[in-house]
Amino acid sequence: MNLLVNIRLHVKEKGISRTLSIMLNRMLDFHFDFKYKTDTRDKISLHDLTVTGENKERGSFYQPTMALSFNRLLDTVPLPPESVLVDFGCGKGRVLLLAVLRGIRKAVGIEFSPELCEIARNNIKIVEQATGSRLDISVIEGDVTHYEIEDDQNVFFFFNPFDDVVLEAVVKNIKKSLQQKPRQIAIIYYNPVHSHILDNSFLPRNSYIIGGEEYMLYVNC
C-alpha cells in the first residue's frame, strides 16, 4: 500500500514519464554492488550512526546516488580539466568510486560517521582488488563545515546530505577557496532540496533531469 501511495505522489509531482524513468533507474541500481560485491545500496538511518562533530541533527540519512544517472551526468556536463572531486557527506563511497572509475583524476570524501567511513574504505579496497588498480580516493572522517578545501579540488558534489545551514557554511568555504585560488570549478547538487542557497551564490546554474533524477550544476567554466 505504501508503495502505491508513493508512486501516486511521484506521478502527481513529477509526471508519469519521469516517474517511470526513476523506477527503472532504481530497479537497475543493484548492478554496481552486484558487479563489484560492494556494500553501497542499502539505506541507513542517521539515528543508527555515530557522528563526529556538532551537526548530527542537521544531517540526512544515508542513501546512495543512483549509479546510472550519475554516470550519464558525468558524460553529459562540462567539468574542469584535471578534475578532483570532493563529495560532502560521502556515505559508503559510491560517488567516489563512480567518479574515479569514470575518469575523474582523484576523489575525496568527507563523512561525519565513522561507521560509514569504514564501509567506504572497505568498498574502495574491494573495487581496487576487482579492477587490479589503485584508485586515488581518500575518505576523511569529520564535519564538512571544518574541512579546508585544497587548491586542486574543483568539482564539489552534494546529494542533499544536510540542511541549509550546513550547506551555506560549506558553500562559503568553497567561495573562500576560489577567492584565494581562482580556478574553474563545478558544483553538482543532486536532489537539490536547498537549491536556494546555491541559487543565491556566485555561480550560474543549469538544471538536468537524467534517468528521472534532478541535478543542479553550478559552473564558472
The CATH H-level superfamily of 2-219 is Vaccinia Virus protein VP39 (3.40.50.150)
Q: Which residue do the cell numbers 549509479 mark? A: 67
pLDDT of 185 strictly over 90 = yes
Chain segment 89-98, per-residue pLDDT in tens:
999 999 999 9
pTM for the model: 0.89
Q: Which segments of 89-209 does DSSP mark as H helices, in order?
A: 94-101, 114-131, 164-180, 195-199
| Residue 57, SS3 per DSSP | helix
pLDDT of 106 strictly over 90 = yes
103 φψ region: left (φ > 0), alpha (ψ -120 to 50), beta (else): left
| 112 or 221, which is more confident | 112
Q: What is the mean pLDDT of residues 210-217?
A: 88
N-to-C CA span, the chain: 47
Q: What is the mean pLDDT of residues 104-112?
A: 97
In this structure, are residues 67 and 29 in contact, taking their beta carbons and an 8 Å threshold?
yes
